[in-house]
Amino acid sequence: MRLAKIRRRIEHHYRELKDRLGLDHFEGRSWIGWHRHVTLAAVAQAICTQLRRTPKAPAQA
């Protein structure tokens, strides 16, 4: 059961990287360019995950 949960989480993150953050949009030819693209997409995904996990402050009236 735990393995199924982990797999679903991995698939969710991979789908988010591809669809929202443009992991599959790279069309360059160099390894360095690909590495930079993947690194920036991973950093963007980490920031999105962190923002999603932090509790929101209550609205001030």
φ, ψ dihedrals at 58, nearest 5°: -65, 145
Q: How many whole angstroms separate alpha carbon 46 and alpha carbon 52?
A: 10
Dihedral sign, CA of 17, 19, 21, 27?
Answer: positive
Q: What is the pLDDT of residues 12-43, one digit of tens each?
A: 888 888 888 787 887 878 989 889 988 988 89
Q: What is the pLDDT of residues 1-20, one digit of tens each?
A: 787 788 888 888 888 888 88
Q: How many whole angstroms separate alpha carbon 14 and alpha carbon 8?
A: 10
Other beta carbons within 10 Å of 40: 13
Domain ranges for the chain, please list them. 2-53
Locate the DSSP E strands across the chain.
Answer: none
Global pTM reads 0.65
